[in-house]
Structure 1
């Protein structure tokens, strides 16, 4: 299939400075000589012949430890079965693996597919904070709930997100003009959050440790910063623990260059169909490239 999305984004990323931190003059010189990476991001339609394995990787990252509860091959195939809806972001041409993706699946239209049955059942066990969701996802419901699946590698800039959402709006509009079944009554965005927890490695360290005050109100951080914007347009949201919890050292396995461990949670946001366009506009304004 020929490339339909022609938009490119020019991003300059910095290489990490070279130096061991012991010599200030060396560090200053390294900062001055810091290399810059010049990266072009390109948006493509999902490619059934190219993107299967890349999508599975990103889906596995999105669902974290609960990815094993779903047939990700079937889910990737379902995403690729609607190649004119949704986007991937790549840096090395159409034949390369995606670094990010966004799509929407109609939970009502695909309700007879096993992976959608599994996903719907899973969501219904996690939606205590969204009381409207059980009725919307009930077998007898005629609600057209579009589940938005989106994920990206952790070092991808958030500025790639607004084009994907804007393209999705445009593609849904085209689909409706063609009398296709994409008039969604609601959108359900699946995402991830995390809290910082005391490192088990530090607890086990034999050296004396200063006692730290435990804050009962743990701050929630967002892997996807656009989620905080979506909250303002949502009729409900929920963060919840994964079913397949990792062992006690799992938080430390996600600890990189920081003192605290990372405890991830799943997250979902329910938005009425009529408010989705306004939410997308707000994301575009919030994540507009800084000039």
Structure 2
């Protein structure tokens, strides 16, 4: 489903969708022994509203950048996102006036390069990309060139949000970008740089067994907060993870949540050529459809 790209209606265009993981009843269940409560949840996509969405977007940005969020002017970045109200969307429940449960947007790094929030972010992403060989050969040079129009894709959602809401958000944004290009707006990109998060399961420092900690490090496998990122990476020119610079030694313990293993969050960058981006969006839609 696509959200209407609204230029004359103050961003009122929206689309409602139901979460099939929540409201689908099992029609094949013939047993009457057990009563099940079914909760219907309608998720709606909205254009950004600068009077409503600032705080919700800022909160999700803080989650996206984890411990490094303190390095940026998140208020300035949030303002840029919500003021760009014909590209991207928020996902909410019940009413437009509520805070966003998820958001998706793309910012033109060339157009906004002189603005402090973007300058900070470009410098940060450049330095973080240099720490990963898979990113170092492509991302820093592209961001430093000043000639290419790179679309910075920022997306985040609450951890308990169903993945089914994500494909409509991506599809809507692609339609909006296409319409913006037709209107001669600056959304014709050479590349898209998608910023996301991953994590590794690591041994907690509370565990004093060196052998156990070493085994956990050796067996650590990359996990995804957003499962669709694993599919999107297949379409990337370059992709890789990076450590957060403000990560403390106790991160694994503070995020262990009463489990034997802690988690080590990492940043993730995926650089995708513009002519391959539509295929990447289609791929994650198909992936989410088969995975649920």
TM-score by length of 1: 0.86
Superposed CA deviations along residues 68-116 of structure 1, whole A, max 9, x for unmatched, are 0000000000001110100100012111000000000000010000011
Cross-structure match for 1:144: 149
Equivalent residue in structure 2 for 1:183, among 172, 183, 188:
188
Report which of the two structures shows the higher radius of gyration computed on alpha carbons.
Answer: 1
TM-score by length of 2: 0.86
Matches for 1:41-60 after TM superposition, within 5 Å: 41-60=43-62
1:60 match: secondary structure: helix
Matches for 1:1-291 after TM superposition, within 5 Å: 1-13=10-22, 32-33=34-35, 35-128=37-130, 129-130=134-135, 131-138=137-144, 140-203=145-208, 211=212, 213-214=215-216, 216-246=218-248, 248-288=249-289
Runs (4+) of structure 1 exceeding 3 A deviation are: 10-14, 31-36, 201-204, 209-215
Superposed CA deviations along residues 170-229 of structure 1, whole A, max 9, x for unmatched, are 00011011110100100000001100111233439xxxx995744525200011111111
* Residues 11 and 86 in structure 2, CA contact (< 8 A), matched pair in contact too: no
Alpha-carbon RMSD = 2.2
Superposed CA deviations along residues 248-276 of structure 1, whole A, max 9, x for unmatched, are 32212212353210110111000000000
Separation of aligned partners in 1, 2:270 and 2:254: 27
Separation of aligned partners in 1, 2:291 and 2:226: 18
- How many residue pairs get matched? 269
1:216 match: secondary structure: helix
5+ unaligned residues in a row in structure 2: which ranges? 1-9, 24-32
* Residues 108 and 143 in structure 1, CA contact (< 8 A), matched pair in contact too: yes
